[in-house]
Amino acid sequence: MFDIKQKVGVLGGGQLGLMLLQAAIDWNLNVKILDAADAPCAAIAPEFVEGSLQDYDAVYQFGQDVEVLTIGIEKVNVEALEALEREGKKVFPQPHVIRLIQDKRLQKQFYRDHGLPTADFVLTENRADVRNYADFLPAFHKLGKDGYDGKGVQRIASTADFDKAFDAPGLLEKAVDFDKELAVIVARNERGEVATFPTVEMVFHPEANLVEYLFAPADISPEIEQKAQELAKKTAQAIGIVGLLAVEMFLTKDGQVLINEVAPRPHNSGHHTIRANFTSQFEQHWRAILDFPLGDTTAYTPAAMVNLLGEEGHTGPAYYEGMEALLATHGVFPFLYGKKITKPFRKMGHITVTDSDLTKLKEKAEWVRGALKVITK
């Protein structure tokens, strides 16, 4: 039943919380947000609570007067969420899902145990352990916990790179000879209804290991599209998630589709849906966790999304150079995250580009990449 009086709590007031909040306004949802005092949501949330997402007491107390609790980031105190769930609070995604995805070691083992295709890997305990796998190279060493937005990943191309490995529990993942990196966002509600967004193609920044831009739909065959869609659905069903699951994938040169990683929340690979799809990923998240019918994910225009990253050599109060040129361009929609301080490669916003002509879309996206810069003065 649609009840705007029920209070929904969101752990995380960063850019994802901000966009969730904007979608919630359309339905006049009663939303409360927990995060640090300088979070982008602090100034605009109907109710904002200052506190640490990783502190048991802060999360537990925050959840006392809400009916439903959700997240904008995985790095939260799961023990508090488990306690709230035991007391009858609805927590989506469920605490066991968050716990699984917080640890890449558990995540990768889950894929293997459930027959979900993924790159070959071995679990490692420390840097010295990695040295035992010279015959597994080239590979990527990933921290088991606390990796986020490109952090916690090191390429180990040869034995000369062993010193770059993390001296903590992690996994060594065989480098995949891929053709493209894809992503599918899948939604699942309590009644088990499932819906996917069209597959997107991602291009990563070579230094920051962050998505630099993406194209939707991905330039892939119908057969590969079906493979990616089915794999996303199968993964969400296996995990049993209620909410959104972003499934990042590799398309290998021999046509295999392999899971790379997943995120149990709205995701960078779905920001374009605000402007390009009948239902945005943020509205879909609300539909899923509140057990409403899932929305139509059809795209009504091809789109690109360009991440707006802080420029190298600039740390301090943010200044947006080139905004007027973007605002004067048809089919270009900048979205700023309200972060006052810029740092090199910090996500400061994104720009959605739309055009019915795919060639013009790619040309426009390429222009956008250099047209707006986040600097300091």
pLDDT of residue 171: 96
Name the DSSP letter for residue 44. Answer: T
Q: Dihedrals φ, ψ of 351, to 5°?
A: -125, 125
Res 8: pLDDT: 97
Rounded-to-integer distance, Cα 46 and Cα 39, Å: 14
Give, for 341, the enclosing helix (H) or strand (E).
Answer: strand 341-342
Distances (CA, A) of 115 to 29, 111, 138, 260: 39, 6, 24, 14
Angle at which helices 104-113 and 95-102 pack, to 10 degrees?
100
pLDDT band for position 149 (cuts 50, 70, 90): low
d(CA 94, CA 98): 7
pLDDT reading at 269 higher than 80: yes
CB-based contact 317:343 (threshold 8 Å):
no
CA distance 200 to 180: 10
Query: Which H or E run includes 225?
Result: helix 222-239
- The region that residue 152 occupies, defined by phi over 0 for left and psi between -120 and 50 for alpha, beta otherwise, is left
Return the pLDDT at 209.
63
Rounded Cα gap, residues 177 and 320, in angstroms: 37
Q: Parallel, antiparallel, or unpaired for β 139-143 and 170-174?
A: antiparallel
pLDDT in tens, 178-221: 999 999 999 999 999 999 999 999 987 766 666 788 999 999 99
Neighbours of 214 (CB within 10 A): 26
- Cα(124)–Cα(167) distance, rounded to whole angstroms? 9
How many angstroms separate the CA atoms of 167 and 172, rounded?
12
Angle between helices 104-113 and 222-239 (to 10 degrees): 110
Question: Nearest 5°: phi and psi at 28?
Answer: 55, 40
Mean pLDDT of all residues in the chain? 94
Q: In 10 A of CB 204, how many CB atoms?
A: 15
Q: What is the pLDDT of residues 69-111, one digit of tens each?
A: 999 999 999 999 999 999 999 999 999 999 999 999 999 999 9
Average pLDDT over residues 330-358: 94
Which domains occur in the chain, in start order? 7-91 (3.40.50.20), 120-174 (3.30.1490.20), 178-375 (3.30.470.20)
Nearest to 306 by CA among 331, 283, 281: 331
What strands, in cross-sheet order, belong to the sheet with 153-156?
Answer: 121-124, 170-174, 139-143, 153-156
Provide the whole-model pTM: 0.94
Chain segment 356-376, per-residue pLDDT in tens: 998 899 999 999 989 999 999
Main-chain phi, psi angles of 131, to 5 degrees: -65, -15
